[in-house]
Amino acid sequence: GTYLLQRINFNPGLDRLKDVLGIVGLAAFGSTLINSTIDSIIQCLTGLASWNNLGTIWGTGWVGDAMGILLIAPLLLTWRELPTAKTQRQQVAERAIWLLLLLAVGWLVFCSRTRAAYARYPLEYLPFPLVVWAAFRFGQRYTALSNLILTGFAIWGIARGSGPFLKHASSIPQALLSLQAFIAVIAVTGLVLAATVAERRQAETSLRASEASLANAQRIAQLGNWDLDRRTQQLRWSDEIYRILGQPPGTFEPSLEGFLEYVHPEDRELVKTSIQAALLYKQPYSIDYRLVLPDGSHRTVCEHAAVNSIYITSTVQDITDRKRAEAALRSSEERFSKAFHASPVGISICTLTDGCFLDANESFLRSLGWERHEFIGRTASELGMLVNSEDGRRLAEILLAQNSVSNQEIKIRTKAGVVRDWLLSVELIDLGSTQCVLIMTSDITERKRAEEFRQAALAAEAANRSKSIFLANMSHELRTPLNAIIGYSELLQEDAQDLGAEEFVGDLKKINTAGQHLLALIKDILDFSKIEAGRMSLHVETFNILNLVEDVASTIKPMANKNANILEIQCADDIGSMQTDLTKLRQSLLNLLSNASKFTCSGVITFAVTREVESIPKTAPRHPEAGTQLQNSSSLSPPLPLSPSGDWILFTIADTGIGMSSEQLDRIFDPFTQADSSTTKKYGGTGLGLTITKKFCEMMGGDITALSELDQGSTFTIRLPAIFRETSSLTETINSDF
C-alpha cells in the first residue's frame, strides 16, 4: 500500500481529493486484498478453517482490514504533527461544542437504551451533520477523529446490545455487516468532503494570493484593467483604474461615461470612437491618450483592448514617466547629435569587432579630406589612414585592457597622402546591441611644429649667446696683446725720431694705425657681443652738452681734415646739460662722425645739437625736419619714445658724401652690414658701428633715424631724453632686443 501511495505522490495531510481516493482505493481496499487472500489460504491449508468457508473468511478479513485502515490510518497521518498555528478562543469554543454534541449524539444513537433509541427512527443518520460540520470547519484532523469516535460508539453499542444496527438486523453477523458498511460510508464521505473543502480553501488562498500579487504588480506597473460585457453593457475594472484616475478605489461605480469624463477633451473623441468600434465591429485597438486628474495634472496612458464574443477586455497603463523619459531621451539625442556634428573636435564612431566606420562629424571628415559617402562603411585599413600599423594594435591593446584610451599621439594619413599628427582619445559605447568605439581627435601637427620651432629657436638663441660670450672673451684676450703692440709702436716711434732714424718712423706709424684700427674693430665686436649676451649696462651721469660736443669735435676733426672735409659745429652756448650714459653717447657720436668723415671727400660735415621741449606727454612726434624728409625719402625710423621730463636732445650729423640707395638704407642698422662689398674693400669696417649705435640709443631711452640719397649724402639724427629714467616698458624693450 505504501508503494502504491508513493507512486501517486501521496501527501499524508490528505488535503487533496487524490490523496483521499488513494488511501481509500489503494491502501484500504486495494492492498488489503493481498493480505486477506494470503491469510485465508493459510488458514485453510493449516486446517484452521474449512475450504468451504474460504469465501466467508476472505470477505470477513478483507472488510476488517479495510475498515481498520479507513479509521486508523487517516487519524495517524493527520495527527502525526501537532498544529503550529495559534488557535483563537472562538475556534476552541466551537470545537468544544462540536465535540460535546458528537459525544452526546454518538451515545444517544448507538449506546442509549431509551425508548427513542428503540423506536423505529433512522437515528443512525443523526451523526452525519456533525461529520459534515467537522469536514467544513475543522479539516481532516477532526473529520478522522469524528469517524473514530462514532465507530467506537457503534461498536460499543453492539457490544452492550443496543444501537440501530441490532434493531434492524436479525443476527449479530448481519449487525456487524451493517456496522462495517456504516463505517465505510461515514469515513469515506467525511474524508472526501474534508479533502474537497481543503482543496477549495487552498484554491481560494492561491486565488487571493494571485489577486494580491496581480494588484501589487498593477500598482507597481501602474497598470489597470477593465472588462465590458457587450450584451449587458456592465463594466468592471480593477482598483488600479481608480488610482490612475487619481481617486481612491470604490469612489464611484465603473461606467464608460464616468471614465470619459477624465479623458482630456482633445482625446475624448478618439477614446469614444475606439470603444464604439470594439462594441460594434469587434475591432481591437491600441491608443495613447491623456487624462485630466482632479488636481488638474495631466497623465498619459496607453490602452490595449482585445474583443471576443462576450467581453471587451482592456488594459490601461500610466506611461507618463515613460513619455517624459522618451522626450528627455529625444532631447538628449538631439543635443548629442548637434554637439556631435557641430563640435570642432573630430569625432567618429566605428564598430569594435571590425572597425567599420558608422558615422563621423564634419570636423573629422574635413581633417582627413574624405567625403561622407566615401568614408562611411569602410575601415581605417581600407582608407589607408594609419601610417604605422603598430599604432592600431597598440591602441587596441590599451582599449581592451582599460576600456578607454586617453590622449595618445598617432600619425594619420589623409586622403591626399599628407601625414598629420593627431591626439586621440577612445571610449567604448553601446549602440543598441552593437558594441562600438567613440573616437575623438585633435590635429596637433601645427602645435608640434611650433614646439619644434620654439625648441630650435631656443637652441639657436643659446648658441648665439654662447657665441657672443665667446667673442666677448676672445676680444678681451686679444685687446691685451694689441694694447702692448700699440704702446710699444708709439715708444719705438718716439725713439726713432729721437735717434734720427726717420726711415723707420713711417713703418712704425703704419703699425700704430693698424693696431688702433684693429683695436677699434675688436672693441666694436666686444660691445656687440655684450649687447647680444645681455651683459651691457648703463652708467648714467649728468654732464654739460656743450663740453661733450667740443670734446667729440676735437677728436673727430683730424679725421675730417684728412679727407679735406669741413666740420661745422652748430650748438647753442646755453644748450644746458643732460643725464644719460656719457660714454655710450660719445661712442655713438664718434661712430656717426667717423662714418661721415670716412665716406665724404672734400665735402661738408655738419654736427648740430638742439633741445626740443615736448608739450604733449602722450605721443612723441618726430623731429619736424626729420619727419618732413621721411615722407619724401627712404628711411629706417621706428616710433620714438617720450622723455619723462619732456625735454629731448637731438644730435644731427649730416654729410655730403656718397649717400645710400633706399635698399641699402633699409639694411643699414643690421649687424655686419655695409652698403656693398666694394664699400668694405675701399673704406674698411666691420658693419657693427651703426648697429651698436642704435642699440645704445634704445638703451638710453631714445632712437636714431637715418635719411640718405645716393650721391647726395646722409643725415643721422639721435634723439635722446634730457633726463634718463629707466621704466618697465623700456626694460622690456631692451631685454627683448638682447
| pLDDT (0 to 100) of residue 614 | 67
- pLDDT above 50: residue 640: no
pLDDT at 636 over 50: no
Higher pLDDT, 684 or 367: 367
Q: Which pLDDT value is given to residue 322?
A: 85
Question: What is the C-alpha to C-alpha distance for residues 716 and 183, in angstroms, rounded to an integer?
Answer: 148
Given a cut of 60, whether residue 681 has pLDDT beyond it is no
What local confidence, expressed as pLDDT, does residue 171 receive? 66
- Decide the pairing of beta strands 223-229 and 311-318: antiparallel
- Poorest-pLDDT segment among 234-243, 322-331, 514-523: 514-523
Amino acid at 20: V
* Euclidean distance between the first and the last CA atom of the chain, given in angstroms as a whole number: 118
Determine the pLDDT at residue 75.
77
Q: What are phi and psi of 299, to 5 degrees?
A: -130, 145
pLDDT at 714: 93
Mean pLDDT of the 656-666 span: 88
Rounded to the nearest 10 degrees, the angle between the axes of helix 172-221 and helix 127-137 is 30
pLDDT tens per residue across span 80-108: 777 666 777 888 888 888 889 888 888 87
- Per-residue pLDDT band at 16 (split at 50, 70, 90): confident
pLDDT at 283: 92
What percentage of the chain's residues is helix, strand, coil (to nearest 5)?
A: 55, 20, 25
CA distance 496 to 489: 10
* Mean pLDDT confidence for 647-655: 94
pLDDT at 685 over 80: no
732 versus 52: the higher-pLDDT residue is: 52
**With 80 as the cut, is the pLDDT of residue 270 above it?**
yes
Of 699, 718, 581, 721, which is closest to residue 637 (Cα–Cα)? Answer: 718
Residues 599-630 pLDDT 10s: 999 999 999 999 988 654 444 444 333 333 33
**Which residue ranges does the chain devote to CATH 3.30.450.20?**
222-324, 343-443
Q: How confident is the model at residue 683 (pLDDT cuts 50, 70, 90)?
A: low
Cα separation, 425 vs 446, in Å, equals 19
pLDDT at 524 over 50: yes
Predicted local confidence at residue 732, as pLDDT:
41
Alpha carbon 391 to chain centroid, angstroms: 25
Confidence (pLDDT) at 473? 73
H/E run at residue 542: strand 540-544
pLDDT for the residue numbered 266: 94
What would the pLDDT profile of 316-354 be if each residue is shown by its tens digit? Answer: 999 888 888 888 878 877 888 888 888 888 999 999 888
Q: What is the pLDDT of residue 265?
A: 93
- Average of per-residue pLDDT across 460-472: 74
pLDDT tens digits for 545-599?
999 999 999 989 988 898 899 999 999 999 999 999 999 999 999 989 999 998 9
222-324, what's its fold?
Beta-Lactamase (3.30.450)
* Nearest alpha-carbon partner for 182 in 113, 78, 116, 106: 106
pLDDT, tens only, 192-205: 887 788 888 888 88
Q: Is the pLDDT of residue 150 over 70?
A: yes
Task: Report residue 168's pLDDT band, with 50, 70 and 90 as the boundaries.
Answer: low
| pLDDT given at position 220 | 78
537-737 in CATH: which number? 3.30.565.10
Would you state the pLDDT for residue 530?
72
Give me the amino acid identity at 67: M
CA distance 346 to 356: 17
**CATH 3.30.565.10 region(s) of the chain?**
537-737
Q: What is the pLDDT of residue 633?
A: 34
| Cα–Cα distance, 457 to 463 (Å, whole number) | 10
Superfamily for domain range 343-443: PAS domain (3.30.450.20)
User: What's residue 123's pLDDT?
Assistant: 72
Kind plus residue range of the DSSP H or E element containing 569? strand 566-571
Query: Cα(156)–Cα(144) distance, rounded to whole angstroms?
Result: 18
Q: Largest Cα–Cα distance of the chain, in whole Å?
A: 198
Instruction: Please report the sign of the dihedral spanned by the C-alpha atoms of residue 726, residue 731, residue 734, residue 735.
Output: positive
Look at residue 22 in the predicted model and tell me its pLDDT.
67
Q: Are 546 and 578 in contact (CB under 8 A)?
A: no
The span from the CA of 224 to the CA of 4, in Å, is: 48
C-alpha cell at 418: 599628407
For 352-400, the pLDDT digits (tens) are: 888 899 999 999 999 999 999 999 999 998 899 988 888 888 888 888 8
Q: Which three cell numbers mark 530? A: 655684450
Length of the chain: 738
